[in-house]
Structure 1
Amino acid sequence: MTLRPLALLPLAALLAGCAGSAIPQVYRPPAATAPPVAAQPVQHNRLLGNSADAVGRMFGKPRLDVSEGGGRKLQFAGSSCILDVYFYAPRTGAQAVATHADARTPDGRNAEVDSCAETLRR
């Protein structure tokens, strides 16, 4: 049995469809997104922007002084509230400043930062 050349055309067309493109595609990574915008503090209280030394002069010796990584937390406590002040440098080589503060009552309920600060002020 001999095959005629025209009989092979459908088979050749079928196999050609499986071969894919003969020209390789160049990988193009997705377009870069804009860098994230620096987060602005959500809080507004009198402690933000102060150095740890300045905050220490306001409240005296902290109950806790914890450093971890590039951050530092000072905790001040009184009978009516506990104040945590967090310090981070705004850029490499800059002095760390207060960037966040939390206040709570001794039983764990949230308290207003400025009111707690006034209560604890020396």
Structure 2
Amino acid sequence: MRKFALLLLPLLGACTTVPVAPGPPGAPASRPGATPPPQEVRVAPATPSFRAPRVMNVPGLESVIGRNETALANLFGAPRLTVKEGDAKKLQFVGEACVLDVYLYPLEPRGEPSATYVDARRASDGLDVDRAACVRALRR
């Protein structure tokens, strides 16, 4: 029974009130349950920070890296998938041999997104393939 009573002590302690320290001299005493006066909160204006993307530099991708969405559509046809997130885009081009994902990011603040990274995989099982070979296979 004593052990049970000892286990209940923390629960009983949670039910007690904690005394509030008095405020600055001359301040009115606060009443229990009274809402504190509203405080002015100043939020610093959001400053958009731009981070330039790292641009992939792999031989065989010169026809893709640095191109915009229109140039890529002219090169491969209409993308099967377009995903837009913020100022970035992902375009997916598909052929019998492979799936090509091209990631476009602006190279300067408020600039037009350009291809900065390419990923390629086999269409049949999703295993990675040579990016340059996939680009050659999908070109129109």
**TM-score past 0.5 threshold:** yes
**2:53–2:107 contact (8 Å) kept in structure 1:** no
Write the distance in 2 (CA, Å) between the matches of 1:103 and 1:80. Answer: 10
1:78 counterpart = 2:92: no
TM-score, normalised to structure 2, is 0.57
- Tell me the equivalent position of 2:133: 115
Which amino acid letter does the alignment assign opposite residue 97 of structure 1? S
Q: Identity of aligned pairs, percent?
A: 38
Q: Which has a greater percent of helix?
A: 1
Deviations 1:49-73 (A, max 9, x none): 1111101100001110110112101
Deviations 1:8-41 (A, max 9, x none): xxxxxxxxxxxxxxxxxxxxxxxxxxxxx96643
1:88 counterpart = 2:105: yes
Equivalent pairs counted in the alignment come to 86
RMSD of the TM alignment (CA)?
A: 1.7
**2:53–2:105 contact (8 Å) kept in structure 1:** no
Q: Helix, strand or coil for the counterpart of 1:114?
A: helix
Shift of the 86–38 alpha-carbon distance from structure 1 to 2, 3 Å rule, reads: closer
Q: Which of the pair has more CA radius of gyration?
A: 1
Gaps of 5+ in 2: 1-50
